[in-house]
A and B are shown apart, each in its own frame.
Chain A
Amino acid sequence: MDAILQSLMDLSGVTAVLVFDPGGQLLGHRGHAVYDEGLCAQVSGALAKALDAVQLQQEDWETVTAQYADGKIVLRRVLATDRTNVLAVVADGTLNVSFATVALRVAAGKLKRLLEGGASSSSAGLGSSAAAARSGPGTSQTSPADSRPTLAASGLSWSKISNVGLSRVSVADPASGAFLGRCAKELAQYVGPIAKVYVEEAVRRVVPDAPFAMAQARPLVEDLAAQIEDADDRAAFQKSLAK
């Protein structure tokens, strides 16, 4: 894997290269000295969250390019046997994005072969590789992924969205609709404006084939609570909806 990451580091303007899994766990990285393992792990988490949301609207995404005032991040999906990992390039403003996109495509293909042909678990295989390469500059393995449920398999896509907000969810009666609104409002305190999307997803999971009714309120709240990472916040959310 070192060689694959190094090939991207050789691109003009590239300052760091990361590989992480869908949960945001850093599987490997190379980069200039300032991009240490701790920083890359933090960044991987934030990028994975962004990609969770991207997946909601565009399941078939292949690349995501974020342009900043002083640089760029280019993300490329790496479809391996059992999961979608992500290859990320961090660069300064001089990066030629078109050129980098081609290089990323090539690197992603090699990484895919490495993941599929390596150990039985992709993260385990990369972990071994990373550990073996630890003596080299900047490749590492980090702590386990957090417990956030992935939204990747939501089935929602940009083209399927047709109505406004929670009206996409069918409800048995007005009280059930009002309860969903309360759920979104309470959840928004912890996860922000994406709360409505989370509520819709949760309703689809809890009652996939019928209108939502208050009888399913408890499993819905439990499902939604799983979106909140902090235990105290999670408890406060559940309490607020138990009233």
Chain B
Amino acid sequence: MADLASTARIPNVASAVLGDLAGGFHDAIREGDGEAVASVAAFVASSLARAGEELGLGAVRRVAIVGEQRAVVVALSGGVVVTVRVEPPGALGAVEKALDASIGRGG
């Protein structure tokens, strides 16, 4: 999962950012402000994790945000947070599948 370069090569991935659940920034590809993206993604993930915990849904694994112009996927695994911008948003399903495969391979 932490192989950001291969994630960024998935078709329709406009940018990819590697961070952690504490909001730390590690790397970015085609994203000018990876630090801000990583911190916001971590905040979103932790807020949703809190909601999920209260509802007994277990650990949050992935968040997909869909808008008119683009979609964003925040994938979580072992404290690592990968945030991927998808353009156009219609490609989200294919990108999520590719991300799943990537997580399955790289953990």
Bound-state CA distance A26–B62 (Å) is 25
- Are A53 and B32 in contact (CB-based, < 8 A)? no
- Are A62 and B66 in contact (CB-based, < 8 A)? yes
Asked if B51 is an interface residue, CB under 8 A from chain A, the answer is yes
- Are A62 and B23 in contact (CB-based, < 8 A)? no
Bound-state CA distance A141–B77 (Å) is 36
Q: Which residue of B lies closest to A158 (CB)?
A: B85
A interface residues, tally (CB under 8 Å): 44
Main SS of the interface on chain B? mixed
Bound-state CA distance A90–B55 (Å) is 8
Q: Which residue of B lies closest to A88 (CB)?
A: B51
Bound-state CA distance A161–B35 (Å) is 10
Given the interface pairs A60-B68, A61-B65, the reply to whether A68 lies near B36 with Cβ below 8 Å is no
User: What is the distance, in angstroms, from A224's C-beta to the closest C-beta of chain B?
Assistant: 16
| Interface range on chain B (Cβ under 8 Å from partner) | 35 or more
List of A residues within 8 angstroms of B52 by Cβ: 66, 68, 71, 73
- Are B64 and A64 in contact (CB-based, < 8 A)? yes
- Are B42 and A168 in contact (CB-based, < 8 A)? no
- Are A197 and B66 in contact (CB-based, < 8 A)? no
Asked if A58 is an interface residue, CB under 8 A from chain B, the answer is yes
Asked if A133 is an interface residue, CB under 8 A from chain B, the answer is no
Given the interface pairs A68-B52, A158-B85, A165-B36, the reply to whether A53 lies near B44 with Cβ below 8 Å is yes
Provide a sorted-by-A list of 30 A–B residue pairs whose CB atoms are within 8 angstroms.
A43-B51, A47-B47, A47-B48, A50-B47, A50-B48, A59-B67, A61-B65, A61-B66, A63-B65, A64-B63, A65-B63, A66-B60, A66-B62, A67-B62, A68-B57, A69-B58, A70-B58, A71-B55, A71-B56, A73-B52, A158-B37, A158-B70, A164-B32, A165-B33, A165-B35, A192-B43, A193-B23, A193-B24, A193-B39, A196-B35
Measuring CB to CB, which residues of chain A are less than 8 angstroms from any residue of chain B?
A: 16, 35, 39, 42-43, 46-47, 49-50, 53-54, 56-73, 90, 158-159, 161-165, 168, 192-194, 196-197, 200
